[in-house]
Each structure stands twice: as C-alpha cells, then as structure tokens.
A and B are shown apart, each in its own frame.
Chain A
Amino acid sequence: MTAPAVLFSGLTKRFGDKLAVDSVTAEIPAGSFFGICGPNGAGKTTMLRMTCGLLRPDAGRVEVAGHDVWVDPVIAKSRLGMVPDNPSMFTRLTGRELIEFTGLLRGMDAEVVNERATNLLRLLDLEEAAGVLVADYSLGMAKKAAIACALLHNPRVLFLDEPFAGIDPVARQVLEETLKRFTAAGGTVAFSDHSMDVVERLCDRLLIIDDGHLLLTGTTAEVTQGRRLQDVFVEAVGGSNTEGVDIRWLGSSSD
C-alpha cells in the first residue's frame, strides 16, 4: 500500500472561544482527487492553511508526502502547491513575471522556470495575457495564474480553496482539465468547494466537516451510498431552521 499524500492527525485549532478545527484525523491517498466539504465557517480554510504551513495548529500533525509541515517546513513546502480562496498576488507583475518570480523564490533554475512558465501559460490559456499585469486579470485569469504558480515546481499535492468560485464556465473547464491531467500523472489534488455537484463529479474521495468536527470521510461512493451528495451533505450538517420567520413583507411594494 502506498503512503498517503497527506496525513492529518489530531489536527486542532482554536480562535479564542471558537474551536475552528477539532482533532481531525484523516488521510488523502496519493493520486486522489479529494474534496473537502462543509458549510461556511466549518473550518475548511483553517484546515487548508494549517496544512500548507500558513497557520500553526494548536495540536496535531500534518504530513505532506511523508514530511511534517511544522517540523520540516522547507521540504514539505517543496512538495505542495497552494491556491487560496480569492488569492492575493503580486498584482503589479505580469502573469509571466509572477510565475517566474515564484519559481525563483523556490530556488528553481531560471531556464527551467522560463520553460515551464511558457508551458503552463499555454496549458491554462493565459498565453495571450502573459504580458498583462495581474491587476488587469479577471478573477478566473487570476485563479489560473495562481494555479500556474502552484504547479510550477511540480508539487506532489495541490491544495485549492474554492477554486471554482466566481469563475465563468470556460475558465472552469480549463481548470478542471488541468487538475484532471495533474492527478492522471500521479499528482494529488485536495480542494474545498460549496458546490456538491462539482465535488461529486470530480472527486474520488471526500470529507465533510462541520463546526470543526469531521463528520464523514471515505470514497465518494462510500459517503453517498447511491444518494445525491447534496442530500447527504444537508442531512449530515443539518438544514437551516426558518420556521416562524415572518417574511411576508419581502417582495411586497416598498414605495
């Protein structure tokens, strides 16, 4: 059996009184397309940030490709790529400059960086916009540029926080195809998303987290058991209670 690409062990984070992530233990097998689902404020982003070395956990361990992120951060970070939700980047660089700058920060050879940047720009349909400042990019283009930066060093695992949020169908398709190619070549993708349809369609494994607690994890088939993931999700986290809320005024004339 191959070692997991990512291993969470008792991962815990507290912000003041709020327990954001409560002793989560799970693993992401190598080569899988892994979905992290949960309602707003469930702890998905906190989990991803702890996994990528951007937020120190209060307890527990995270291993990426066999390296503890908080014990061997440099090696672990060389094995992972990350694209945060609505990524803030160095927007006064052009797309190509941004990718090259990221590669040089990672200590890569300039020629390799240049060659890979050209390939990634072409793959992600950013070739024409390579010389345009990232500040001029649409959200979809910016996300693609961020993915190019994250893929440049050929990581073992790619973490994405809501990569499909707010982007048009064309950009979505390019992203999906790029990520599928990455996993087909042996890479691992772990991403969070609110769209259960997307998670169900793309992921072979997933976990559902709510209020910091791990509710369900396993292969998509194991979790859904023939039902729609949307239904399983709502059942697991509990629907919202709107009983007794009087909204008869809504939609009536306010002039």
Chain B
Amino acid sequence: MARLFLRLKARLIRNRLRKAGAWATFAFIGIWSLALGVGAIVGLLGGVVARLVGGEAIAALFTLAGIAWLVGPVVAAALDETIEPRRLELIPISPMQMSWGLLAASLLGPGALVTLLFVVGVVVGASPDALTLIPTVLTGMAFVVWCLVSARWVTTFLTDLLGTRIGRDLAVVAAAVLGGGSAFASTFLSSGTDPLPALNGFGRVSVYFPPGALGRSLGLLAEGEWWSGLVLLAYGVAAIGLVMWGWQRSLVRLATRGPGRVSRSVARSQNSPLVPRLLMSWPSAVAATAGKELRYLRRDPRFRSQAIGLAVALAALGVGAGRMLLGTEYSPFLAVVVAWMAASTTGFNQFGFDDRSFWAYLVTGVDLRRVLAGKNMAVALVGLPVLALVAIVAAALVGDARNLLSALLAGMAVLAVWLAVGNVVSVLGAYPLPDGNLFGSRNVPGSALFASFGGLFAAGALSLPVGALVAVPLLVWGTWQGLIGAILAAVIGLSIHRLSLSIAGGLLENRALRLLEILDKPPV
C-alpha cells in the first residue's frame, strides 16, 4: 500500500508539472533545491550541536523541529501538497492502510527531505561508533515518523475542526495561546547571555514532549545509557501510536461526516450584522463587494484558517515589537503591526477566496477594479478600528498620547501600501483556495509563488520610505515634525493605493480570463 501511495503522489506531481508548464517546473526545482540546501545546513548544524553539546540540546532541537511540523501545515496551508484523504473515501481500504499509505506519500515532500537531512546530521554527529549507530538511526527514524504523523493528524483534525463554528472559535483562541507561547519561548531563549544553557534548559523541559523525548533518547543511546534511552524511545513510539490512532479516527470522521456539517453550523449565521447589511443596501459594486467580504469574514473557514496562520506567525513579531515599544511614548506605533496583519489577512491572493465563483463577476460585466476596491474596503473596515483601538489602549497604558495621531496615520499608510501591493500581486499571482478543502492540494501556479515573494519584497521596500517619513522627523526633531511626516506618509500611502487600483485594473483587462482559467480548475 505504501508503495502504491508513493507512486500515486509521484504521478500527481509529474502530471501537474506537465500541465502547469515552465513556471511551475522552475518553482518546483527551486523549492526542492532550497529544501536540499536548507536540509544540508540544518543537518550540518544538528551534527555539530550533537557532537559538541549533545544530551539535552538534541532534545531541544528535536522539539523545535517537532513544533515546526505541527505549525507548518497551518501556516502554509495553501502550499500543502498532501493527497486529499476525502478523494479516497470509496476505495475499500482500512483507515490503518490509508494512514500508512498517506504517511508514505508524505515522505515525498521538501519538508520531509529537510527533516531527513537534519536527522542524518544529528545521528552522525551524536554516534561515536558503529554499535551506537543502529539504535540512534532507529530513534531518528521514529522522530521522522512522529513529524509526519503529527503534521498529518493536525491537518486532518483541523479540516474537521474548522468546519464548525465552535471549532473555528477554539482554533482562534488556540492560535493566540500558541502565538503567545512561542513569543514567551523566544523571550525565554533570548533572555540569557549564553544560548547553550538556554538550549539545554529548554531541552530539559521539552523531554516530556514526544519529539523532545526522542531527541533525549538519541542522546542517551549515543552515550551508551541504554536503559534510559530505551525507556524514552518506548515513550516516543507509544506517543506515535497514540497520534496515529487519533489521526485514523479523524480520517474516518472526515470521510463519513459529509459536507452537511460545515454548512449546518454556518447556516445559523444567516442574520448579518448592521455594517454588511448597510453596505449591501448601497447601490454600488464597491460597497456590495465590501459587504459580501465582511459576511465571508464571519462565515468562511478559509478566512479563519488564514487568520490563524498569520496570528501564529506574527504574534511573536508583535510581542517583540511590543517589548521594544511598550513603556515609551512610541507605544501607539504598535498600530503599524496591526495594519500589517490586517493587510496580510487577505494577503496577495484576493481573488483566490472567490475560487470557482470568479466567473460570477465576469458574467455581470462589473469593472473588476471596483471589486478589488470593495475587498480593500472590507479589510480597512475591520483593520482601521482595531488599529485605532490598539493605538489608543497603548497610549492610555503609558499615559502619553503625543504620538497617537502620528501612529494612526502611519498605520493607515502601511495598510494602504500593503493593500496596494496585494492588489497587483492578486492579479499577477492568483491561485485557488477551495472552500471546504482547507488543506487539500491546490493548483498553485509557479508564477503565484514568485509573485508572492516579489510582493513581499515590494511591500517591504515601499513600506520602508513611508515608515522613514514618520520615524526620521519624529526621532530627530520631535512630535510635531513626526506628525507632519505621518500626514505625508498617509497621503503617499493612499496615493500608492490609488495607483495600484489603476495598475491592477489595467492588468485585469488582459488577465481576467487567465485568472478565470486558473481559479476555475477543480482542486486536484
């Protein structure tokens, strides 16, 4: 069964590349080369740490890698290349067979390659002789299996969980806790002057977490402490069995629950709040689109899933910025981080959420620039109040509102710049995000990946001078000069946004049908 699934995955990749053309092939080679390079580096580093430090440091490294595998599928949901389990519902195989098959297929991915190379490095670095090589290799293999199983379980579990309103709300809370936790961990690790004791300290704590236990087991076995090592290995293997069981249960539930559960839970939310209702009673395509987007924000698990991913990724950054700014008169500038997060929520793939419904815009003959403006309006309607709230609360906490207005204007400028870049990238690099299939394979064109990376670079590059317009006069001369700079930044940000709508509109005239072709393809 494992061989069959491996062949299936290989064929899916091959056929998709054949169909997608040169860009996708280029992206594919790029991603695998990157994985090989990263794998070689982390393998080397892992080997050096295992050889020179050993012991608890290996447990810490394994734990960090284990966390990456747990969080990875959520943050990079759109890039997941896993075989969609729901496609296998009618094939007469047991959940056990299916899970082993899917597990084998998971081995064929860049993430697995990086992990394998990392484990090879650690095993070689930790093992002093051939005798210890056998148990350490086995422990390393168990760790790789843990990573794959836990990631697949998270994927399946979240697909199931995010289908319900309560599940989605819980997931948002969990993301906040996870984000806060990772920020706390980063504070803990960066607080010491010497990273090695911190790493060892983290390793001691993480031994209770299965990947940490496997890492510690590897270290102990390499040191010849067989009994302790084997006990921890047994604990790790038992944990793998438990997660495997949980994953199989999730697979069965996912296969047998049907699509109705998603819909029924959402169906209760048919009464819209006032703002979307008002927007949709306004005779304008821009307002109507904003109203529709706000409704989707409440009802669509895809938005939640993106928001969770971003919350996890950016929470640490937010806390980091907070550490730097809080307690000073610059605290209200935390609003800029909120602006960034708000603009990133719909990201650089604004039409991706419309997925196969994109034809409905085209057939009405609506100017797609107005649709983009409506989508931006929805983000602004959510982002600006949150941004203002954060700035006001931060100012109130430090009892200094001197920079409040500058911070609000700077946040608005950053929001406008990121939305502006997002508008252009959304036209150049759209890819479908199918509804009800949060983690299934997507038709992500290679060009979309390049457009996203280019967009990140462009948005960062454009944000810097806009930010400098506020920061330089504020830090060099003072509050009032900073405010003038902020007004200028806001005007420039809004001008860039306006320009982006023109550019995106021009591009859409030529690319609307290409977008339809990309978005209209059923998920593979």
- Measured CB to CB, the residues of A under 8 A from B are 52-56, 73-74, 76-78, 80-82, 84, 88-94, 97, 100-102, 104-110, 131-133, 135-136, 149
Some 12 contacts from A to B, beta carbons below 8 A apart, are A54-B516, A76-B365, A88-B356, A88-B520, A101-B280, A101-B292, A105-B289, A109-B283, A132-B267, A133-B266, A135-B266, A136-B260
Q: Mark B285-303 against chain A: 1 for CB-CB distance below 8 A, else 0.
A: 1011101100110011000
Residues in B whose Cβ lies below 8 Å from that of A109:
283
Contact A110 B282 (CB under 8 A): yes
- Measured CB to CB, the residues of B under 8 A from A are 260, 262-264, 266-267, 269-272, 280-285, 287-289, 291-292, 295-296, 299-300, 354-357, 359-366, 371, 435, 513, 516, 520
A-B contacts at CB below 8 angstroms, number? 105
Within 8 Å by CB of B363, from A52, A92, A108, A110, lies A52
Residue with the highest number of chain A CB atoms closer than 10 Å, among B295, B363, B371: B363
Return A124 CB to nearest CB of chain B, in Å.
17
Within 8 Å by CB of A88, from B292, B355, B362, B365, lies B355
Residues in B whose Cβ lies below 8 Å from that of A89:
357, 360
Residues in A whose Cβ lies below 8 Å from that of B292:
90, 93, 97, 101
Residues in A whose Cβ lies below 8 Å from that of B263:
133, 135-136
Residues in A whose Cβ lies below 8 Å from that of B357:
88-91
Contact B285 A107 (CB under 8 A): yes
Return B361 CB to nearest CB of chain A, in Å.
7
Contact A106 B364 (CB under 8 A): yes
Return A234 CB to nearest CB of chain B, in Å.
30
Residues in A whose Cβ lies below 8 Å from that of B288:
100-101, 104-105
Contact B285 A105 (CB under 8 A): yes
Contact B360 A102 (CB under 8 A): yes
Contact A149 B365 (CB under 8 A): no
Contact A104 B284 (CB under 8 A): yes
Residues in B whose Cβ lies below 8 Å from that of A76:
365
Residues in A whose Cβ lies below 8 Å from that of B435:
91-92, 135
Contact B283 A131 (CB under 8 A): no
Residues in B whose Cβ lies below 8 Å from that of A53:
362-363, 365
Residue of B at shortest CB range from A153? B364
Contact B365 A78 (CB under 8 A): yes
Residue with the highest number of chain B CB atoms closer than 10 Å, among A76, A88, A101: A88
Within 8 Å by CB of A74, from B271, B355, B365, B520, lies B365
Known contacts A54-B513, A105-B364, A133-B270, A97 near B283 by CB under 8 Å: no
Residue of B at shortest CB range from A73? B365
Contact B295 A97 (CB under 8 A): yes
- A89 and B513 CA atoms in complex are apart in Å by 17
Contact B280 A104 (CB under 8 A): yes
Contact B356 A94 (CB under 8 A): no
A-B pairs with the 6 shortest C-beta distances?
Answer: A77-B365, A88-B356, A104-B288, A92-B299, A135-B263, A136-B263
Return A251 CB to nearest CB of chain B, in Å.
19
Contact B363 A54 (CB under 8 A): yes
- A8 and B366 CA atoms in complex are apart in Å by 24
Residues in A whose Cβ lies below 8 Å from that of B516:
54
Known contacts A84-B359, A89-B357, A97-B295, A106 near B280 by CB under 8 Å: no
- A93 and B354 CA atoms in complex are apart in Å by 12
Residue of A at shortest CB range from B266? A133
Residues in B whose Cβ lies below 8 Å from that of A133:
263, 266-267, 269-270, 299
Residue of A at shortest CB range from B280? A100
Residue of B at shortest CB range from A78? B365
Residue of B at shortest CB range from A150? B363
- A135 and B262 CA atoms in complex are apart in Å by 9
Within 8 Å by CB of A105, from B264, B267, B300, B366, lies B366
Residues in B whose Cβ lies below 8 Å from that of A97:
272, 280, 292, 295
Residues in B whose Cβ lies below 8 Å from that of A131:
270-271
- A104 and B296 CA atoms in complex are apart in Å by 17
Known contacts A102-B364, A133-B263, A54 near B283 by CB under 8 Å: no
Residues in A whose Cβ lies below 8 Å from that of B260:
136
Residue of A at shortest CB range from B303? A92
Residues in A whose Cβ lies below 8 Å from that of B287:
104
Residues in B whose Cβ lies below 8 Å from that of A102:
360, 364
Residue of B at shortest CB range from A88? B356
Residues in B whose Cβ lies below 8 Å from that of A88:
355-357, 359-360, 520
Beyond the given pairs A91-B435, A105-B366, A149-B360, 18 more chain A to chain B contacts, judged by CB atoms under 8 angstroms and listed by A's residue number, are A53-B365, A77-B363, A77-B365, A88-B356, A88-B357, A92-B266, A92-B296, A92-B300, A93-B292, A100-B288, A104-B280, A107-B283, A107-B366, A110-B282, A132-B267, A133-B267, A135-B267, A136-B264
Return B364 CB to nearest CB of chain A, in Å.
5
- A110 and B282 CA atoms in complex are apart in Å by 7
Residues in B whose Cβ lies below 8 Å from that of A110:
281-283
Residue of B at shortest CB range from A83? B363
- A73 and B361 CA atoms in complex are apart in Å by 13
Return A108 CB to nearest CB of chain B, in Å.
7
Return A84 CB to nearest CB of chain B, in Å.
7
Return A81 CB to nearest CB of chain B, in Å.
8
Residue of B at shortest CB range from A136? B263
Residue of B at shortest CB range from A106? B364
- A81 and B283 CA atoms in complex are apart in Å by 20
- A76 and B365 CA atoms in complex are apart in Å by 9
